[in-house]
Structure 1
Amino acid sequence: MTMTVGEAFDRILGEGTPFHLVAFDGSTGGSPSGRVVRLKSDRGLNYLLTAPGELGLARAYLAGDLEFDGLDEGDPYEVMRLGGGGLVTRRLGPRDAAELVAFVARLGLHVPPLPDVETPGPLRRLAHGLRHARERDAEAIHHHYDVSNEFYELVLGPSMTYTCACYPTDTATLEAAQAYKYDLVARKLGLEPGMRLLDVGCGWGGMVRHAVEHYGVTALGVTLSKEQATWARARIESDGLAGRAEVRHADYRDVTERGFDAVSSIGLTEHIGVRNYPAYFRFLRERLRDEGRLLNHCITRPDNQHPGLPSRGFINRYVFPDGELTGSGEVVRAMEDEGFEVRHHENLREHYAKTLAGWSTNLSKNWDDCVALAGLTTARVWGLYLAGSRVAFERNEIQLHQVLASRTAPEGASGFSLRPRFEPSHP
């Protein structure tokens, strides 16, 4: 008897799947009461079989070969939550495995053309240099951050802040939470009028502008994204902050100035590579004066044993090429080994889940305009990425840590009071 696509679905996923498959060959599978997923072509099936798991699912969905009934493409959170970010396969017995092998052989398995927004695999990326070499880092940043400033304005909102917010209350708005985050960073860094701040990986200049406007410092931000730098400079000019705030389109390693009172690194560590942590923190320490402070804010894993991201995973191939994550302990170890004294360390995991929910709401609300700006495939990538990341933060599969440290002076002065208070007043 010839196996149908629906039967293959059942063999792979087993009982209890929350989905009901309607396949292109007329067969069905999964739970009759589950959320309906439609596999529309053998091309989609080949995507699923040649890259089992999240990558194959993403390819089939982005190509239009996989559809979910009732899906909000701007915020597919409910579907991602049901599937845990992907469809979980079960362990196959010998008979099931043999019948599936015969099923695949009958199909004439092949890899269809990939969606045009997918980045090359790790070996092909070598054409742009070694992992985390300057040219390749610039290419990776360009892929993700230079979609268009107009697209980011729709998704991120007025703050143009693309990092985890900090919610002072459960009912605070996304904009209030982003302002609160910047204020929290400023207070942790002990910013005061007349100080000099370096913000590496500054994005659209949110921290630079907040620190200059509200704390009276002078600030330098650097970003590898030309689009971000252009937007940030225009905003600095329109806000009347020119002369006190500067954003450069440059690699952070090109900053030659020293003697800063504080350094903020908000969402950059994920891009530099775990092996480069020592050189990174050594460079930042060299930019600080004695008793100067560093605040490192980055996505982390819940353990310190699995650095990196899967090279065949959706995030690596569609969102953050060459991105790497590890546990907060590894971040702390690298900072301490380079001479920093760690003074404060906290996890904002739940805050990032709420931040992602806010961005997903914005994407959904502005879906037609986002598609017009970036194209349907890129907009779909963002829908999957934001909703899937939200699920991962909620389930403690990834975390967000802020680590505060001092370049403590040789005689032991750290620049901290005995009981420093960092929490801002509620907005």
Structure 2
Amino acid sequence: MTTFKDRTDKAVGLSELGTRLSIAEVVETLVDGEIPVRLSAYDGSTTGPADAPYGLEIKSPRGINYLASAPGDLGLARAYVSGDMVAEGVHPGDPYEILKAMQGMKFHRPSALSLVTIARSLGWERLKPIAPPPQETLPRWRRIALEGLRHSKTRDAEAIHHHYDVSNTFYEYVLGPSMTYTCAVYGDPDWTLEQAQENKYRLIFEKLRLKEGDRLLDIGCGWGGMVRYAARRGVRVIGATLSAEQAAWAQQKIADEGLSELAEVRYSDYRDIPEGEFDAVSSIGLTEHIGVHNYPFYFGYIKDKLRDGGLFLNHCITRPDNTRTTKAGDFIDRYVFPDGELIGSGRIISEAQNIGLEVLHEENLREHYALTLHEWCKNLVANWDACVAEVGEGTAKVWGLYMAGCRLGFQRDVVQLHHVLGVKLDANGTWDVPLRPWWTP
């Protein structure tokens, strides 16, 4: 098996002989181990198995510039999103199969000697960083200067705007009629996405023991799916979202369904909701955005908003352990969720307990998210032309890449999805809930 060291030694040897590397050979020097897919380049060179069902084609000098200046997922994403590298054998709305084939592929930054060989072969201009595709946001250090400290209200608002204010029409194509951008809960793998999303809201509603006349606060409410589900059952609901487009869409939907007397979605930071004494608080997909160091405030806020005996449900993506970095990878941070942070469910439970909330139940819905993402990718493929017309091909490709990659991540236990259910006890520690789970799984 050819190793990265073998390729580096080869590159150094060729450099000493004054020989130039082909583009395929340059890529080989950046990859540790075998390249598992076909790779071809605009200079006619190829590498990888010729009979592989999937391939990558580098179509322009800018593509190799992206790969050489940022080896790894960020460089690959830049080349792919810009159209300077294409994936063969898969649809751009669902590149899952080629990502699965490439899952063990590891990049390394070249040594100084290899860099000389690469520069001689390609020209030094190919190694200089160039402007990334317009879909990429600024690196973390530049966001501090322009938007303030991480997870300040201003910077959180900008991060949410980057991801959620793409286009309501685009989201309708991808998410389907439920307009629900969080993990569905399947009773069977053959369920439709709409069945599973309705079941998710049903499960949360039951876990929170909501009934007609109760008051619910849904923080990070998105397009108001949980808000409307609860309001249809006689619950008075306030939802909060930092996306102006989400809030406008949700308010119109509430009006269309005749729920305005019971439901409201505010364009607001959840921290600015003044009301209190809620019977329940739901947080479905917000925790990923708030920052791990803000967990004490976050759970303290939930506690303050609940009446004694009130229940909360925290639904969020987590890591499979509590020891790794909380920051997202470069592709996710620059293209998808700026400033997003993840940690294990143990940290989430500990922080809730430390603030004085009692945790009653938790469960991992990891496999359900893989199923959900598969359905979103199917929707993107089915509506590809309309999605490209709505947001542009580059943005549509970002979404296909992101959702297919996340599907693989949930399948491989790189990430998980946890429900944490808890209660705010009164001063006497009274536990006013049934002895055993009261909801249908």
Shorter chain as normaliser: what TM range?
A: over 0.9
Question: Contact 1:131 / 1:322 at 8 angstroms: preserved in 2?
Answer: yes
Pick which of 141-150 and 27-36 moved more.
Answer: 27-36
Q: Which residue of the partner structure matches residue 261 of structure 2?
A: 243
Query: CA–CA distance in 2 between the matches of 1:414 and 1:81?
Result: 47
Structure 1 runs not aligned, ≥5 long: none
Supply the distance in 1 between the matched residues of 2:398 and 2:339 (Cα, whole angstroms): 17
Range with bigger deviation, 20-29 or 224-233: 20-29
Task: Verify the 8 A CA contact 1:205 1:232 in the aligned structure 2.
Answer: yes
RMSD of equivalent CA atoms = 1.6
- Mapped to 2, the partners of 1:307 and 1:208 lie a distance apart of 33
1:264-292 superposed Cα distances (whole Å, 9 cap, x missing partner): 00000000000000001101100000110
Distance 1:20 1:209 in 2: 49
2:405 pairs with 1:388:
yes
Structure 1 residue 194, shift from structure 2 partner = 1.1
Corresponding residue for 2:304? Answer: 286
Q: What is the identity percentage for the equivalent residue pairs of Structure 1 and Structure 2?
A: 53
Contact 1:261-1:288 within 8 A present in 2 as well: yes
8 Å CA contact 2:148–2:155 kept in 1: the answer is yes
Which residue does the alignment assign to 1:103? Answer: 118
Show CA shifts across 1:79-119 (max 9, x none): 111112x8423798x8xx74454223543021122101110
The yes-or-no answer on 1:55 pairing with 2:40 is no
2-structure distance, mates of 1:99, 1:125: 33
Q: CA deviation at 1:242?
A: 0.9
Q: Residue 388 of structure 1 aligns to which amino acid in structure 2?
A: G
* Matched-pair contact (CA < 8 Å) for 1:208–1:220: yes
SS of the counterpart of 1:25?
A: coil
Distance 1:248 1:99, change over 3 A: closer
2:3 match: none
State whether structure 2 residue 65 is matched by structure 1 residue 46: yes
Q: State yes or no: 1:184 paired with 2:199.
A: no
CA deviation after TM superposition for structure 1 residue 10, in Å:
2.9
> After superposition, what is the alpha-carbon deviation per residue over 1:50-99, rounded to whole angstroms, capped at 9, x for unaligned?
11111000000111111122320111111111112x8423798x8xx744
TM-score by length of 2: 0.92
The match for 1:232 is 250
- Listed one character per residue, the Cα deviations across residues 129-156 of structure 1 (whole Å, up to 9, x for unaligned) are 1110011110110111011111111000
The one of 361, 365, 370 equivalent to 2:382 is: 365
Asked if 1:123 is matched to 2:141, the reply is yes
| Structure 2 alignment gaps of length 5 or more | 1-18
> Which of the numbers 294, 307, 316 marks the counterpart of 1:276?
294
**What is the distance in 2 between the residues matched to 1:416 and 1:42?**
64
Asked if the contact 1:220/1:247 (under 8 Å) is kept, the reply is: yes
Residue 161 in structure 1 maps to residue 180 in structure 2: yes
Number of residues of Structure 1 aligned to a counterpart in Structure 2? 418
Which stretch of structure 1 is more off in the superposition, 302-311 or 140-149? 302-311
TM-score by length of structure 1 reads: 0.95
Residues 10 and 30, structure 1, Cα contact 8 Å, conserved in 2: no
Alignment pair present for 1:202 and 2:221: yes
3-state SS of 1:373 partner? helix
Q: Are the counterparts in 1 of residues 240 and 269 from structure 2 also a CA contact under 8 Å? A: yes
Pair 206,141 (structure 1): closer, same or farther in 2 beyond 3 Å: same
Q: Residue in 2 aligned with 1:340?
A: 357
